[in-house]
Structure 1
Amino acid sequence: MSAGTLTLTNNSAVVIGKETRFITDLKAGDMVVSVVGGVTYTLPISSVDSDTQVTLIKVYDGPTQTGAAYSAVPRKAMNSITAQLVAETTKVL
């Protein structure tokens, strides 16, 4: 897990962090992954606005949540995971 916690607000593209280091940990195109109510949300970042605020590419459509743990996932890592899943699925088919 990454440092700090998130506030995710339904129908908002703005994510607020508490005790986060977004400028160091994230850049545009990276993902924030958080589990809210048992559902995993993978949220692509449009911009890193400050150490405590990022803007998502699209609005968050889950329930409003304060104090959510999260993981920062670099775009390169997400692309590698996706490519591997496609390769394995293709192999099975």
Structure 2
Amino acid sequence: MSAGTLTLTNDTDAVTGSGTAFTAELAAGDFIVVTVGGIPYTLPVKAVNNNTSLTLVSVYTGPTQSGAAWSAVPRVALNMVTAALVAQSAEALRGLNYDKQNWQSIFSGTG
């Protein structure tokens, strides 16, 4: 967990921190991960205004929450997760295609 807590307000892109060090932990393009009401939110950061204020790429759609624990996720880390997911999905699809080709050759064979 990152230092401090967050206040998130429904239908706004502003995030306020208490005891946070946004300028040291985040940069534009990074993400904050916070759980509100048992639901995890991954929110992209548009701008870090100062140590206790940042702006999200889009408005926060969850319920208003104060005192929320949070984690900073660097953009590169989330990009690596996405790239790995794409590679694994492509590998699985290739395997399914090969399987279909094998069954097709069995069903269409003469012997």
Which structure has greater helix proportion? 2
What letter is aligned with 2:22? Answer: F
TM-score normalised by the chain length of structure 1:
0.97
Aligned pairs, number: 93
Q: Which aligned segments of 4 or more residues in structure 1 are displaced greater than 4 angstroms?
A: none
Who is 1:91 aligned against? 91
Residue 63 of structure 1: aligned partner: 63
Seq. identity, %: 56
> Which blocks of at least 5 consecutive residues in structure 1 are unaligned?
none
Deviations along 1:57-81, one digit per CA (max 9) or x if unpaired, are 1000000000111110010111001
Structure 2 alignment gaps of length 5 or more: 94-111
- How is 1:9-24 mapped onto 2 (pairs within 5 angstroms)? 9-24=9-24
CA RMSD of aligned residues (A): 0.7
- The answer to whether structure 1 residue 7 and structure 2 residue 7 are counterparts is yes
Determine which structure has more spread, i.e. the larger CA radius of gyration: 2
Q: TM-score when scaled to structure 2?
A: 0.81
